[in-house]
Structure 1
Amino acid sequence: MTADTIFSLIKDHFTTSLMGIIMLALLFSIAYFLVYKKLLRGTASISIKPTIVTFMLVGYILMVLGVTVFSRGSYYAGSIDLTLFSSYVEAWNEFSVKSWQFVILNIVMFLPLGILLPLLQDRFKHAAWTLAAAILFTLAIETFQYFTGFGVFEVDDLFNNTLGAIIGYGMTMSVLKVRNKRLWPTIGYLSPLLLTLLAFGIVFGTYSLKEFGNLSIAPTKKVNMNETTIILDVFFNGETDSATPVYQVSPYSHAEALEEVKELLINKNIDPHEINEDIYTETGVYTLQSEPYYSVWFEFKDGSYRYNEGLDFEDNVMPKDTDQEILIQKLSEFGITPLDQTNFHQLDTGRYEWTADLLEKDGQLIDGTLTVEYYSDDSIKSIEQSMITYDKVIDKRLKSEQKAFNQLMEGSFYPYAEHYDKIEIKELNVTYVLDSKGFYQPVYAFKSIVDGNELDLLIPAL
């Protein structure tokens, strides 16, 4: 779940939480003023601070339940992940804003619990009580998700949520101790926050010093290979491989992406000022609310995009076959010219694709596909451009093929599964994968038959 999704869910459930607080306040008012004060002639007065904190805590709990439980369908029945810190390893491998947002938001989400509990009752000023409450609350959520299928039971969620509550507890207690002119205990109460910030600082600092980025194909867990049958149809070289190029693609700024979109739509008689721009962490979504409707999903990291033009169903526009020459002519209207060295083939009625498979040209590497859809009104209404040009930056020696195979035998490869019965390795090639810093890194691809299915098992080669 991305930060954008979570913030959207919080916004959606804020009204529900507010209504819950209002209903609680109404019921409390009836119980206190009508029943207790008027009917029972009670004399005790209301303590304002605990009442306000209680209402805030109820609203917070409703918000958390809305985001973590009631915003999902029952898709994860019986799903469980007991590997501690697996979400951190995954975030490290991907090292994107989105991946770290997921980890950090799971911590931040429980800050209010730790902040409010010590203000609610004095017993929660003891760390053990707040810790126990946080563990029980998040354990209840994870258990409910497990049995209902509304989520995955994850040990990392227990850790992150509890850490967030302890940090919140420390923040509240540090303020209370400063008010009581006890300065030194403040450092102790703030230590969970300071240590967490230090840990994240070390992680991000280490990453910034790395020559290349991280690979999302790096395994977060190991496949259990104890009962896996391995059949080899290829010989592996035990020597370190010769120097192999590493390439790089320059990311696009928001302004550069918008200019690319404008160029794409330049022949559509569109006023650029009418383009709606929605910016997310790694993607820009550009739309035009017109007839027809236009949309472009643009990836900032490499400049790949998906262009779509709305279909005119009233005119019964349908996919239509054509030839390569007409497609090239139509693509020129978008400022796109397919390379001569690419492979052209038809995928389906009206759907065509150009493919470049690690094509080297003038110190650059061209890789990926360009897919278009042609329609009966003689227009292209869909373009998927993921044919990217990478610039060579340096030559690097690879680990030996034998070392890569040993890593495969240990179960450290992508894609991950709990267990494979039989792996027949047919061929070993070097391919490329984009890392988190925009470098196109070489990786070993073990072309295999895995439990009857063709599959490339990937291992980082540097």
Structure 2
Amino acid sequence: MTAETVLSIIRDHFTTALFFIIMLALLFFILYFLVYKKLLRGTTNLPIKVTIVSFVLIGYLIMVSGVTIFNRGAQFEAMDLTLFGSYIEAWNNFSVRNWQYVILNIVMFLPLGILLPLLHDRFKNAVWTIAAGILLTLSIETFQYFTGFGVFEFDDLFNNTLGAIIGYGLTMSVMKLWNKRFLQAVGYLTPLLLTSLAFGIIFVTYSLKEFGNLSIVPNKKVDMIETTVILDVMLEGENHLPVPVYKVTPYSEQEAREFVESFFEQMDIDTSDIDVNRDAETGFFSVQGEPSYSLWFEFKDGSYTLNNYFFEENIQPLDTDESNLLNELNRFGITLPDAAELNHLGMGEYEWRTHLYKTGDQLIDGTLSVEYFSDDTIKSIVQSIITYDKVTDKPIKTKQQAFNQLMDGSFDWAYGDINKIEVKDVELTYFLDSKGFYQPVYSFTSIIDGSDEKILIPAI
């Protein structure tokens, strides 16, 4: 869940929370002033601070419920008890989206730790605040598990509790500073300082790495104890010579916008009212009209997906020849490399594939797929044929060493236990890492429990 998504959910639930708090406040003051004060002639004064904190806490809990429960549809019961699994996944992908998920789960419970010591002196004892944080997040995770509105994750329990501890430390440090107890104030800031230091070490370590991280590295190993592995290919045992590592230059947001505007203008589409939505990795550009167009653009490598929204019922997918397709692609300003091979996928569906085509110090790899229609136009393009520039040569593992990792369960697999793996072939291919380097990886073409799959193992 990205920061943009969470902020959108909070905005959606803010009005509801505000309305609920106003109604609750009206009811509370009616009961207090009319019933307690007037009818029962009560003498106890209203504790202003506690009342305000209580209402803020109720509003906060409504927001948390909206983010964690009520914005999701019921799916299935799922549980992940792996400690730091979300951190490992964020490290392997090293995208803003993944780290936002981790950090937001910490930040989301900061207000709880801040508010509870202000609500009652009992919560100035760290044990009570930590217990409250654990109880709240445990309740949310348990509710998500049994209703299918989310996944019971041990990391959420850890991160939410850490957030409550940090929030508690912030409140208590301010109280100690107010009383001029500076050393105690610093002590209460220790959770925040240690957490900041840990994240700082992670990000500095990543920045010093020669290459980026690979998302194909597993978060946890596959249990291979009961798995039968059949190897139908010979594996060389000698060391490989160094192989090239390539890189693609990522696009900035401005460069992406300029590309998209030029792309639309090539099609004589007015871009003066182009609508732009983006997150850290992707830009979504749309032009409304008849027809309307949308283009998803990946900043990391310049790949994109174009869709043309039309509503004529008599226009249907239609087969054609390659020359018509190439002429239509020229209208979009798209020129295919000579090595691209055309495949017919279905009625009106075509794909060009360029597989690891080397030309000088460049590598061209990927696919471009289109949908052709009976009005002699292409209305959908998925372009991921990318040109990579060589940056260096690196020694790699042998196929046998990579296969040993497969046997050890060190590969990405998210579909439960495996009974049987039949390895039919192995080749050296490439995979884009988190810094834009195109790294060599081994691809084991396999049949896993009857399904055709590819198991990827990093080669460096």
Deviation at 1:422, TM superposition (A): 0.8
Paired residues for 1:147-162 under 5 Å:
147-162=146-161
Partner of 1:75: 75
Q: Which runs of 4+ in 1 moved over 6 A?
A: none
Tell me if structure 2 keeps the 8 A contact 1:221–1:416: no
Is the 8 Å Cα contact of residues 113 and 129 (structure 2) preserved in structure 1? Answer: yes
Q: How far apart, CA to CA, are the structure 1 residues paired with 2:404 and 2:345?
A: 38
State whether residues 138 and 157 of structure 2, in contact with CA within 8 Å, keep that contact through their aligned partners in structure 1.
Answer: yes
Structure 1: which amino acid aligns with 2:97? K
Q: 1:373 aligns with which of 368, 371, 374?
A: 371
Q: What secondary structure sits across from 2:272 in the alignment?
A: helix
415, 429, 432: which is aligned to 1:431? 429
Q: Which letter maps to 1:33?
A: F
Give the whole-Å Cα distance in 2 for the aligned partners of 1:40 and 1:325: 90
Q: Once structures 1 and 2 are overlaid, which stretch shifts more, 354-363 or 47-56?
A: 354-363
CA contact (8 A) 1:266 1:334 kept: no
Matched, 1:396 2:389: no
Alignment partner, residue 277 of structure 1: 276
Counterpart CA distance in 1 for 2:341 and 2:192 is 55
Corresponding residue for 2:381?
A: 383
Q: Kindly state the Cα deviation for residue 289 of structure 1 after the two structures are TM-superposed.
A: 1.4
Hey, what does 1:48 align to over in structure 2? 48
Question: AA paired with 2:68?
Answer: T
C-alpha distance in 1 between matches for 2:76 and 2:193: 35
1:308 Cα deviation (Å)? 1.3
- Asked if 1 retains the 8 angstrom alpha-carbon contact of 2:341 and 2:353, the reply is yes
Deviation (angstroms), 1:280: 1.5
- Tell me, in whole angstroms, the C-alpha distance in 2 between the residues paired with 1:238 and 1:129: 60
Partner secondary structure for residue 352 of structure 1:
strand
Q: 2:318·2:348 contact (CA, 8 Å) conserved in 1?
A: yes
Could you tell me which amino acid in structure 1 is paired with residue 237 of structure 2?
G
User: Within 2, Cα distance between the matches of 1:422 and 1:267?
Assistant: 51
Q: For the residues of structure 2 that align with 1:267 and 1:447, how far apart are their CA atoms? A: 41
Q: Which residue of 2 aligns with 1:28?
A: 28
Alignment partner of 1:360: what SS? strand
Report the secondary structure of 2:91's partner residue: helix
| Residue matched to 1:136 | 135
1:158-205 deviations in Å (ceiling 9; x for gaps):
000000000000000000000011110111100000000000000000
TM-score after normalising by structure 2 = 0.98
Please say which of residues 338-347 and 126-135 is displaced more in the overlay.
338-347
Conserved in 1, the CA contact under 8 Å of 2:290 and 2:310? no
CA RMSD of aligned residues (A): 1.1
- In structure 2, runs of 5+ residues without a counterpart are none
Gaps of 5+ in 1: none
The number of residues matched between the two structures is 460
Specify the SS of the correspondent of 1:274: coil
The corresponding residue for 1:182 is 181
Cα distance in 1 for partners of 2:103, 2:70 equals: 21
What residue in structure 2 maps to residue 3 of structure 1? 3
Asked if 2 retains the 8 angstrom alpha-carbon contact of 1:229 and 1:423, the reply is yes
Alignment of 1:229-240 (within 5 A): 229-240=228-239
Structure-2 residue corresponding to 1:342: 340
Q: Which moved more, 1:440-449 or 1:213-222?
A: 440-449
Counterpart position of 2:315: 317
More divergent stretch after superposition (301-310 vs 417-426): 417-426
Q: Does the 8 A contact of 2:83 with 2:154 survive in 1?
A: yes
Q: Distance in 2 between matches of 1:147 and 1:255?
A: 45
Q: CA deviation at 1:414?
A: 2.0
Please give the alpha-carbon distance, in whole angstroms, between the structure 1 residues aligned to 2:336 and 2:62: 54
| TM-score normalised according to structure 1 size | 0.98
In structure 2, the residue matched to 1:356 is: 354
CA contact (8 A) 1:223 1:417 kept: no
Comparing 236-245 and 373-382, the one that deviates more: 236-245
Q: How far 1:220 moved relative to its partner? A: 0.4
Deviations 1:50-107 (A, max 9, x none): 1000000000001101110111111132x00011000000000000000100000000
User: Cα deviations across residues 194-228 of structure 1 (Å, max 9, x unaligned)?
Assistant: 00000000000000000000000001011110111
Kindly state the Cα deviation for residue 258 of structure 1 after the two structures are TM-superposed. 1.2
1:125 Cα deviation after fit: 0.5
Q: Which residue of 1 aligns with 2:412?
A: 414
- C-alpha separation between the residues in 1 aligned to 2:208 and 2:138? 38
How far did 1:318 drift?
1.5
Letter in 1 for 2:341: N
CA contact (8 A) 1:224 1:418 kept: no
- Whether contact under 8 Å (2:266, 2:333) holds in the other structure is no
Once residues 321 and 249 of structure 2 are traced to their aligned partners in structure 1, the CA distance between those partners, rounded to angstroms, is 33
Q: Deviations over 1:420-442 (max 9, x none)?
A: 11111111111111000000001
Structure 1 contact 86–220 (Cα < 8 Å) conserved: yes
Partner amino acid for 1:365? L
User: Is this contact kept in 2: 1:231–1:423, CA < 8 A?
Assistant: yes
State how far apart, in whole Å, the 1-side matches of 2:304 and 2:205 are: 31
Q: Residue 123 of structure 2 contacts residue 129 of structure 2 at CA under 8 Å; is this kept in 1?
A: yes
- % identity of equivalent residues: 63
Match of 1:167 in 2: 166
TM-fit CA distance, 1:351? 1.4
Residue 260 of structure 1 deviates from its aligned partner by 1.3
**Contact preservation (8 Å) 1:214, 1:437:** yes
Counterpart AA for 2:457: I
Structure 2: how far apart are the matches of 1:143 and 1:235? 49
Structure 2 SS opposite 1:273: coil
The one-letter code matched in structure 2 to 1:68 is T
